[in-house]
Amino acid sequence: MARVARRIAAGAAYGGGGIGLLGAAAVGLLLAEVQLAKRSVSGGTAPMPPAPDGMYGTVYAPEAPARFVVLGDSTAVGQGVRRAGQTPGALLASGLAAVAERPVELRVVAECGARSDDLSRQVSLALQDAARVPDVCVIMIGANDVTHRVPPTESVRCLAAAVRRLRTAGAEVVVGTCPDLGTIEPVYQPLRFLARRVSRQLAAAQTIVAVGQGGRTVSLGDLLGPEFAANPRELFGPDNYHPSAEGYATAAMAVLPTLCAALGLWPDADLLDVGRHEGMLPVAEAAAEAAREAGTEVAGVRGPWVLLKHRRRRRLPPPVEAEATAASEVHRGA
């Protein structure tokens, strides 16, 4: 996997576009299976939550809030839940406010159905006010690139450009890498294996380019895979494709420590714990390892070496939805 991920990242950096993850026939079958899975329950639709944009942590001392922006696709939006407080943005904003003991202003510019080539537009929205550059951004992207057969080099090139623009503007960036499409319940073997392979290879390549631009990554695919397999009814939403509220909370708990570490709020943020199998690895090896193991963080470029960390998950405080100031009728299009 490390070799393939390295080739994809190199192709993205040097303009290659012909590196594929699977043969065209296999990808076509995979796409058909995924579309069938999306239609298998509730007509392939999932509810859209109200926009969670607004202020969180207003109980803390009045001071300038931390500005937090979420970019990406339907997973970043929180499609599949019905309450703003159940979305990843609201969960992470609440958790960040509790750790920082400071208000957090959340803005979600993610779009359902987005692929990595939409990140340029989303970054422009995030940076449109030069006086209000985000302190930290979370990007969750990749599943639609796989299902729409976007060349992986193009996908990671777009992600690298987005991370670079945000970092140049002064924002910290955390990327939740491509989820494991092999966890979609109606996708059967052997396509389940192929879906997992494609997802992990893209996730590893995303890690290489995101960390190379100064961001941090958290593996979401391997995090949710075993838990979805063990609890599909609890962790999948009503369309059997998007996560449920419990599934989003599981992902948010994995991302929160890295989000806090990016802002210097986590104790011993970048110290290594050998008892948790943390260490310094070449970036491609770390990316491959992260794609295989639940909630693994990769950060901190030091030449060709990076930090591989397994942070302890922190239970999220319940978000106070009344703090979100956006109108509850605002929905994002599919």
- Is 223 within a domain? yes
- Is 333 within a domain? no
Which tokens sit at 308? 């591989």
- Is 230 within a domain? yes
* DSSP conformation class of 81: B
pLDDT tens profile 258-297: 999 999 997 666 677 766 678 889 988 889 888 888 689 9
Range of the domain at 212: 2-323
Q: Point out the catalytic residue in the list 73, 117, 219, 242.
A: 242
Can you give the CATH number for the domain in which 157 is found?
Answer: 3.40.50.1110
Pairing of strands 66-72, 297-302: unpaired
**What integer is the mean pLDDT of 81-90?**
92
- Is 206 within a domain? yes
- Is 330 within a domain? no
- Candidate from 119-133, 291-305, 315-329 with smallest mean pLDDT: 315-329
- The confidence score (pLDDT) of residue 230 equals 56
- Catalytic annotation on 148? no
272 Cβ neighbours under 8 A, 6+ residues apart: 278, 279, 280, 307, 309
E-state strands within 36-171: 54-56, 66-72, 104-108, 136-140
- Is 200 within a domain? yes
Question: For the chain, how many structural domains are there in total?
Answer: 1
Q: Point out the catalytic residue in the list 73, 180, 239, 244.
A: 239
**What integer is the mean pLDDT of 72-96?**
93
**What integer is the mean pLDDT of 48-63?**
87
- Catalytic annotation on 310? no
- Is 265 within a domain? yes
**What integer is the mean pLDDT of 74-84?**
90
Which tokens sit at 192? 């389940």
C-alpha distances out from residue 55 to 12, 48, 76, Å: 37, 20, 18
- pLDDT of residue 229 exceeding 50, the answer is yes
Containing H/E element for 301?
A: strand 297-302
- The confidence score (pLDDT) of residue 26 equals 58
- Is 246 within a domain? yes
Q: Point out the catalytic residue in the list 74, 94, 155, 199.
A: 74
- Catalytic annotation on 239? yes
